Structure 1
Amino acid sequence: MIRKILVANRAEIASRVFRTAAGMGLSTVAVYSDPDREAPFVSDADEAVPLGGSTPAESYLRADAIIAAAKLTGADAIHPGYGFLSENAEFAQSCADAGIRFIGPSPDAITKMGSKLAARELMERSGVPVLPGKDLTGTDADTAASYADEIGWPVLVKASFGGGGRGMRVVRDRGELAEAIESARREAGSAFGNDTVFLEHYVDEPRHVEMQIFGDEAGTVVHLNERECSIQRRHQKILEESPSPAVDQELRAAMGDAAVKAGKALSYVGAGTVEFLLAPDGSFYFLEVNTRLQVEHPVTELVTGLDLVRLQIDVADGRPLPSDLSNPSISGWAIEARLYAEDVDQGFLPAAGTLDEFDIPMLPGVRLDSGVVAGSVVSTNYDPMLAKVIAHGATRTEALARLAKTLRQTKVAGVTTNRTLLVGVLEDQDFASGRMDTHFLDRVSISDLQAVGDIGDASCFALAAALADQALNRSRARSLTSVPTGFRNSPVGLQERTLLRGETEHRVEYRLNRAPLFRVDGEELDVTVENATAEAVVLIVDGVRRSFTISSVNETVIVSEPRGSVTFVRAPRFPDASDQIDPGSLVAPMPGTVVRLNVSVGDVVAEGDTLVVLEAMKMEHSVKAATGGTVTEVPVAAGSPVDNGQTLVVLAGDTEETSADDAAEGKE
């Protein structure tokens, strides 16, 4: 019988497993790397063992160190979470050899699904529909091109041992195939330790629909209905829901039957996910089996009322699945948003830094699975997901509204996030109507979605920020303490404050005396100030009373009201000379490591040429020339770490900016 569980993972999934284990009366053990020493999940466990190191290879991928930690603490079971060693058959076998239960499927099942090529062949033999594909092992460029002709363009270059968009490239042009294969192989080798890739026919405008399956040691395999995961950027999910608006009872039964066939072909034990592409004509095709718990498992939990982690532990302990799981019901609708530390406007580049503020309101029907708190450091060593925000409602409309409102009221400072984009998608008319596919974010305007998710006119928010700043300064004054904030002797004198909202500059002018005046960006506002402190500002705006709460950390000011929040940065009164860079400099768009240099001093480059390839958070990012020129300096070397804004290459000419193109995305 399992008594103590070690979680071989970090952040929100570790905390998630600890929560269920504690509720079952089980003892828990965390393992952690050096950067995670103060992370919340470490204190969520009863005991914790340091692994040392900073990168995954130095810590969470060290199977020997994790098994040693289990033995040291007397843990008799290991839950792998997702990512890292969760789908590593050798690790699962090592657990068994050490007399430790692996809370997951058998090493044999993991091995069979570890190679997407082998998985395709097994599924095809088991009667599960698959797409045409070809193994690229040992092939040259001409052979690969002939394979693409045979299976039909467009094609997808896909890492056989990968996942989550890493090692994947969509290719529509014959001339781009060789480079796509090379890049996918390089990325797959870096991320997964195996650079095997294959070709698969690429279905345009498909939906991504997956079935949650569960198996036990008695040979029972069931499905727990579907999840819709079509909203993705570059093959990585950002919104998931259950049920799917595209799946009716007949299709659910057909996909469920195929998923169960897949599970039985593997003699599957534990939690797994069978992923399908759903074509516009209603046909569906096998993608892969994820032999672990999924990031998006909470939406299934909310509509079924099940605790999937508890089921995992029960099955690992030899208990059979409950008989009523053979006909799972769906109650209401659930949708999950992945809140990432990333800069959407810069092509979804990962962001890093310290979370000066992190506040997600817990509205009715909302669940939060998070691995960070205010003060947490977001590192480039790990996946950039900060939290999963999940809303449940009686209907899809209600669930969407709850999630959108929660995200609008979320306050994050110190790290750029995708919050505004998430709100924009949730409130988009096509998405609200269920019209979506995996190309949704490629087809629509990201800037338009950002505008939808934005608060709109931020004039009153900017005024509230300026008034709160003035009140804060006044509260710190050592003289004339009785003089009210914002007071001016002169009837024409104005206070001024400049605030930055992203790339937009807001100039606030105001006067609080017998002739009050308020202007933002030159536009006069009809405003009466009822109250203004450093923490709260109450305004009467065009006859409507509006209350703003103010959070201020360092130079960041977050202004919130019930309909949303706006983040400003106080503009410096004097320019910082250190912010200036030499003309023609291409700088790192994020902290990372140089994995490839394509130029040397003296080389002549053209606009769009890839000069440097960086790796951050297990993703490759190409830094391209914005204009042509001659390379005059290359102050970095392959393998060297770089900071955000660090100069990588200097060109003689008029190059003004860095162009970064994500080659792939992170986990899941």
Structure 2
Amino acid sequence: MLTTILVANRGEIAARIIRTVHDMGLRAIAVYADQDIDSPAVALADEAYALGGSTIHDTYLNGDRIIEIAKQSGADAIHPGYGFLSEVPAFAEAVEHAGIAWIGPKGSTILQLGDKIGARRTALEAGVSPVPGTNDPVSSVSEVRDFAEKYGFPVVAKRSDGGGGRGIVVLRSAADIDEFEARHGGKGGDLGAYFLEKFIESARHVETQCMADAHGNFAVVSTRDCSVQRRNQKLIEEAPSPFMPHGAEETMVEWSKALFTHTDYVGLGTCEFLLDSDGSVYFLEVNPRLQVEHTVSEEVTGMDLVAEQLRIASGLELSEVPEIRGHSIELRITSEDPGADLVPTAGTITGLEWPAGHGIRIETGVRVGDYVSPDFDSMIAKLIVTGPDRDTAIARSVRALKELRIEGIATPKDMLADVLQHDDFAPDFRVGTRWMETAYLPNVDLPAPFTGGSPEASSERRSFVAEIDGRRHRVTLPAEFFAATSSVDTGLVRPQQPRRTSGRQVVAQSGEAAIMADGVMSAPIQSIVVRIAVEVGQAVVKGDVLLVLESMKMEKYVHAPSSGTISEIYVAQAQNIPAHTPLLKLEEEK
């Protein structure tokens, strides 16, 4: 059996994994970015080590540093959680080459399934039917037009390397194709990263939680429905999937087993499908990792899926899957503002009260006084509610959301409660993946944009966290020590993180970069520069795409506000930039 697990992640999923590691009597090692040195997940670990930086690429995507820490700490396994490095085949292979166990499917399996085009090809080889589409990248916009002519509108263009809802563009007309060409063709364009599918307008998103061991055993733990989505981001998930048409679940289970067998899959994974309104089932993709919504499958079976991952990685056989009992709903609590198009917000949590009672489970990585940074994912907690049947789980979820109190940041908790009580969701389940955009949001009065954010706050303690030689320690000192350095006579002088402005109000108003008086355009939010579409000296006209930024899984296109010439470019592709970073200078036409 493995003995020491390094958790290469942060926030609620890191805390969730560490708790299971301790339940099994094993040691947990945490790693952390500068912002996370005093986070709850890090505090739970037996040891914690600095990744040495504050950006995603310097920290949780720094595979070399993570492996170095694993060796330094004596870890014999690495658990990637989800996101970050969990679906990077080269990292999985590097971990194994370092003599460390990888908690997940091997790199060759991830390679077959992690890329969406590769997953389509793999599905066809395994006898599984994907949505009608292309199995090769787009080479020209004429291919997009030909595909739309053959299958009819709407069609969807997807980035092959997209994940978590990124890189999905629905094309409903020839004008949409023209705009797609303007945004993704030309210099620095990423047209060749996309493939095409017929867009299933009224589909539900249903998935199977699967697991397989090295002894040839395979099992589906449960189905889940994840149809309540906004911008292809899941908001509400439930298990088992309700109101399934005859034969649909059986098809999904059969196809899931075929996919796992064909790819020699060992570990946990999720097979995702589209369920059309006529009962047709189409393969979508395989997520070769733990899913955010794995909790609802645990609640209706009583299983600990992280424990199953550790068992499988230790060479043991799968545990027997109990019969499904009851119904469970997961609600994603994010730092996003419903009044500003669900734009992520930043700030300090000044008040926090979790719901309690029968059937309530909280997975979180925050506490009162914590600063929610714009640098990482906006999900701060998961509220999982279970009842003996779906109606009870819904009623209990609404009650739990009313009890939940989070102050200092915006969250969609009230909107989630409203969705749960909507006629389309509760009694009949007439919800598809586009329901939020097409049926719900156009007919609901959303609150005004959130303006109540606040900077970091300190809390009173007699200890503090320090980093010594790259390793995290909690140091306790007499109160008199603090009196000499602070106006507070007792309590913790809590390490303060640099204050930062989020630029969220700029995003809420325009979604574009700000223009300064001297023609310099600046970033409205902390983001990654994913594309620079112009070069110095290039003439542009009003509306041209200049740059593409990505923040919190959303792409923001920076357009020319007027005609002119690009005189300077201040950023580089793949650069992680804070809010208000100068992007480029536009000399406007006189």
The normalised TM-score by structure 1 is 0.71
**Are 2:84 and 1:84 aligned?**
yes
Aligned to 1:617: 552
Whether the aligned pair in 1 keeps the contact of 2:12 and 2:41 (CA below 8 Å) is yes
Structure 1 stretch 636-645 or stretch 127-136: which is displaced more?
Answer: 636-645
Q: Name the residue aligned to 1:345.
A: 339
Q: Which residue of 1 aligns with 2:437?
A: 442
Q: Aligned residue for 1:123? A: 123
Q: Does 1:383 align with 2:377?
A: yes
With 15-24 and 425-434 compared, the bigger mean Cα shift is at 425-434
- Give the AA of the match of 1:442: E
Q: Which residue of the partner structure matches residue 643 of structure 1? A: 579
CA–CA separation in structure 1 for the residues paired with 2:185 and 2:44: 38
Q: Displacement, 1:279?
A: 0.4
Counterpart of 1:203 in structure 2 is 200
Q: CA deviation at 1:617?
A: 3.0
Work out the CA distance in 2 between the residues paired with 1:423 and 1:347.
17
1:317 aligns with 2:311: no
Please name the residue that 1:516 is paired with.
Answer: none
Which of 365, 369, 374 is the aligned partner of 1:371?
Answer: 365
CA shift in 2, pair 1:9/1:184, >3 Å: farther
Confirm or deny that 1:172 pairs with 2:169.
Answer: no
Structure 2 contact 344–378 (Cα < 8 Å) conserved: yes
- Secondary structure of the 2:5 match is strand
Name the amino acid aligned to 2:554.
M
| CA gap 1:147/1:242 in 2 versus in 1, 3 angstroms | same
Residue 156 of structure 1 deviates from its aligned partner by: 1.3
Letter in 1 for 2:332: R
CA, structure 1 residues 337+157, in 2 after alignment: closer, same or farther (shift >3 Å)?
same
Matched, 1:423 2:410: no
The residue number in structure 2 matching 1:71 is 71
Match for residue 391 of structure 2 among 386, 397, 405: 397
Instruction: Please state how far the C-alpha of 1:144 moved relative to its aligned partner.
Output: 3.1
Matched residue, 1:410: 404
Alpha-carbon shift at residue 153 of structure 1 (Å) = 2.8
8 Å contact 1:169–1:184 — kept in the other structure? no
The CA RMSD over aligned residues, in Å, is 3.5
Letter paired with 1:270? G
Where do 1:478-497 residues align within 5 Å? none
Map 1:77-226 → 2, pairs under 5 A: 77-135=77-135, 137=137, 139-177=139-177, 179-180=179-180, 183=183, 196-226=193-223
Q: Residue 136 of structure 1 contacts residue 144 of structure 1 at CA under 8 Å; is this kept in 2?
A: no
Structure 1 residues 42, 379: CA separation in 2 closer, same or farther (over 3 Å shift)?
same
Structure 2: how far apart are the matches of 1:275 and 1:311? Answer: 20
What residue in structure 2 maps to residue 263 of structure 1? 260
Contact kept, 8 Å, 2:137 with 2:192, in 1: the verdict is no
AA of the residue aligned to 2:356: M
Offset at 1:273? 0.3
Contact 1:157 1:171 in 2 (8 A): yes
SS in 2 for 1:339: strand
Distance 1:649 1:424, change over 3 A: farther
Give yes or no for the alignment of 1:276 onto 2:273: yes
Give the 5 Å matches for 1:236-315: 236-247=233-244, 250-315=247-312
Instruction: Name the stretch that deviates more: 141-150 or 214-223.
Output: 141-150
**Residues 540, 565 of structure 2: 8 Å contact kept:** no
> Post-superposition shift, 1:81?
0.4
Task: Report what 2:511 is aligned to.
Answer: none
Larger relative CO (CA 8 A, sep 6+): 1 or 2?
2
Measured in 2, the distance between the counterparts of 1:27 and 1:300 equals 26
Distance 1:589 1:420 in 2: 27
Amino acid at match of 2:15: S
Alpha-carbon deviation of 1:178?
A: 5.4
In the alignment, the residues of structure 2 paired with residue 419 and residue 635 of structure 1 have an alpha-carbon distance, to the nearest angstrom, of: 43
**How has the CA–CA distance of structure 1 residues 648 and 352 changed in structure 2, closer, same or farther, with 3 Å as cutoff?**
farther
Residue-by-residue CA offset, 1:113-143 (whole Å, 9 max, x unaligned): 1222122122112221212222453612223
Note closer, same or farther for the CA distance 1:58–1:43 as it changes in structure 2 (3 Å cut).
same
Residue 601 of structure 1 and its aligned partner are, at CA, apart by 12
- Cα deviation digits, residues 417-464 of structure 1 (max 9, x gap): 22222112112121112120001111124275456xx8xxxxxxxxxx
Q: Secondary structure at the match of 2:414?
A: helix
Distance (Å, rounded) in 2 between the aligned partners of 1:11 and 1:199: 35
What is the alpha-carbon distance in structure 1 between the residues aligned to residue 181 and residue 257 of structure 2?
A: 33
Unpaired segments ≥5 residues, structure 1: 455-499, 505-580, 653-668
**Contact 1:159/1:184, CA 8 A, preserved across alignment:** no
Shift of 1:344: 2.1
1:71 to 1:306, Cα distance in 2 relative to 1, 3 A: same
Distance 1:353 1:503 in 2: 11
Cα distance change, pair 214–636 in 1 and its aligned pair in 2 (3 A)? same
**8 Å contact 1:21–1:310 — kept in the other structure?**
yes
Counterpart CA distance in 2 for 1:259 and 1:227 is 13
Query: 1:273 is matched by which residue type in structure 2?
Result: T
CA contact (8 A) 2:214 2:315 kept: yes
CA-CA distance at 1:642 after TM superposition: 5.4
Q: Sort the Cα spacing of 1:314 and 1:623 in 2 relative to 1 into closer, same or farther, 3 A.
A: same
Any conservation in 1 of the 2:139–2:192 contact (CA below 8 Å)? no
Residue pair 2:165, 2:553 contacting (<8 A) in 1 also: no
Task: Tell me if structure 2 keeps the 8 A contact 1:167–1:184.
Answer: no
Matched pairs, number: 521
User: Aligned with 1:58: secondary structure?
Assistant: coil
> Counterpart amino acid of 1:394?
P
Amino acid at match of 2:13: I
Conserved in 1, the CA contact under 8 Å of 2:535 and 2:569? Answer: no
Using the alignment, how far apart are the partners of 2:9 and 2:192 within structure 1? 24
- Take 2:388 and 2:532, find their aligned partners in 1: how far apart are those partners? 51
- Structure 1 residue 357 and structure 2 residue 292: aligned? no
Q: Distance in 1 between matches of 2:449 and 2:175?
A: 42
Identity, % of aligned pairs? Answer: 40
Equivalent residue, structure 1, for 2:502: none
1:292 aligns to what SS in structure 2? coil
Q: Name the CA distance, whole Å, in 2 between partners of 1:107 and 1:618.
A: 24
